[in-house]
Structure 1
Amino acid sequence: MAEYQHISHGFEPVFDERSRVLVLGSFPSVLSRAHSFYYGNPQNRFWRVMAACLGEEVPPNAAGAVSEEMSIEAKRRMLLRHGVALWDVIESCDIKGSSDASIKHVVPARIDRIAGVAQLEAVLCNGGTAGRLYRRHLEERVGLVAQVLPSTSPANASWSYERLQARWQEALLPYIGGAAVR
């Protein structure tokens, strides 16, 4: 059984001054921390869902790209082209492995880094844990009520890919313009 460890996030948020919608997860998984980028577990449906919602091809994973850096850069560019910022609610915490349920001693992300630069119109939380943590630690500072979406995690097996993609598309559509579902 995994033991508690105090872990810092370890990589930067994705955003620029054109970001209109902020997507927040809770905290990077073990695989994401190992790859130094968001949603590093190939079973997580985040990148497939986002690509479909944004009308783009799914960016290559590290195995399909020339390098892991190119894979990360392709994902970053895809989000920024459509005004999507990406970060996590937590800067550091005590956690067992990748278990959101084990999170304690939360240090929230320095959300001002994004809110002070981007013209945010919406916050979308990837799952209930991110939503609860956002309400508790960041909502007042951002000034936007978050929409909590179903988690793209493989642990959320009750949501099929198709249903998940449709729900995320509905939430993103007002902020991403004319992107089409592929």
Structure 2
Amino acid sequence: MNCTGFPPSIDKNCHTLILGSMPGVTSLQQQQYYAHPQNRFWPLMARLLNEPAAPADYQQRLQMLLSHHIALWDAIGSCERTGSLDSAIKNVQGNDFTALLQEYPRIRTICCNGGKSAQTFQRYNKELLHRTDIAFHFLPSTSPANARWRMDMLADAWSQAIHP
């Protein structure tokens, strides 16, 4: 199946950019980042941002991140994939981060959510990795497929990137 990602959730005040790989089936159907109910992304963000809970409303979830100057996008702009597993992704087209960083120059931290996000970002953005004004963090996935990472372990790993 051909998959096309979403536009970034970002504004001019964002200093941190969190990148997934490509939205899974549930997310694509609902047109929402991290829509699968078992994905721990939204609860993890609420915890790290000292929010009481992740809002139920999707637009409020995005606003929660933006109010903390955190943008959301994906390393992959389009690909072919059957199902939701990153291991099934083929024929990748990476997103254009050079253009994004030109439009949003306050980005100083880029966090990759999981191995496929990190692998894709590194593959298509070799020149950006040499920038010394941006910190890059390659973090464990919040996906339910990464069940060996408990929430407290994810929070420990992610906290250094979100609160350097």
Q: Which runs of 5+ in 1 are unaligned?
A: 62-70, 175-182
**TM-score, normalised by the number of residues in structure 2:** 0.90
- Shift of the 166–145 alpha-carbon distance from structure 1 to 2, 3 Å rule, reads closer
Q: 2:29 aligns with which of 31, 34, 56?
A: 34
Aligned residue number for residue 156 of structure 1: 146
Percent identity over paired residues: 38
**TM-score, normalised by the number of residues in structure 1:** 0.82
Q: 2:70 aligns with which of 53, 77, 84?
A: 84
Residue type of the alignment partner of 1:120: I
- CA RMSD in angstroms comes to 1.6
Aligned residue number for residue 179 of structure 1: none
**Matches of 2:60 and 2:52 in 1, distance apart?**
10
Aligned residue number for residue 134 of structure 1: 121
Aligned residue number for residue 166 of structure 1: 156
**Matches of 2:126 and 2:46 in 1, distance apart?**
27
**Matches of 2:128 and 2:159 in 1, distance apart?**
26
- 1:54-73 to structure 2, matched below 5 A, reads 54-61=49-56, 71-73=57-59
**Matches of 1:74 and 1:16 in 2, distance apart?**
15
**Matches of 1:149 and 1:114 in 2, distance apart?**
21
Equivalent residues of 2:80, 2:90 under 8 A apart: yes
**Matches of 1:139 and 1:77 in 2, distance apart?**
31
SS in 2 for 1:123: strand
- Shift of the 141–135 alpha-carbon distance from structure 1 to 2, 3 Å rule, reads same
**Which of the two has higher C-alpha Rg?**
1
TM-superposed deviation, 1:110:
2.7
Equivalent residues of 2:108, 2:135 under 8 A apart: no
**Matches of 2:49 and 2:35 in 1, distance apart?**
19
- Shift of the 7–153 alpha-carbon distance from structure 1 to 2, 3 Å rule, reads same
Aligned residue number for residue 7 of structure 1: 3
SS in 1 for 2:2: strand
**Matches of 2:126 and 2:102 in 1, distance apart?**
14
Q: How many residues align?
A: 160
Equivalent residues of 2:139, 2:157 under 8 A apart: yes
Give the 4+ runs in structure 1 shifted more than 2 A: 57-61, 110-114, 138-146
Query: 75-84 vs 103-112, which deviates more?
Result: 103-112
TM-superposed deviation, 1:111:
2.4
Query: 99-108 vs 43-52, which deviates more?
Result: 99-108
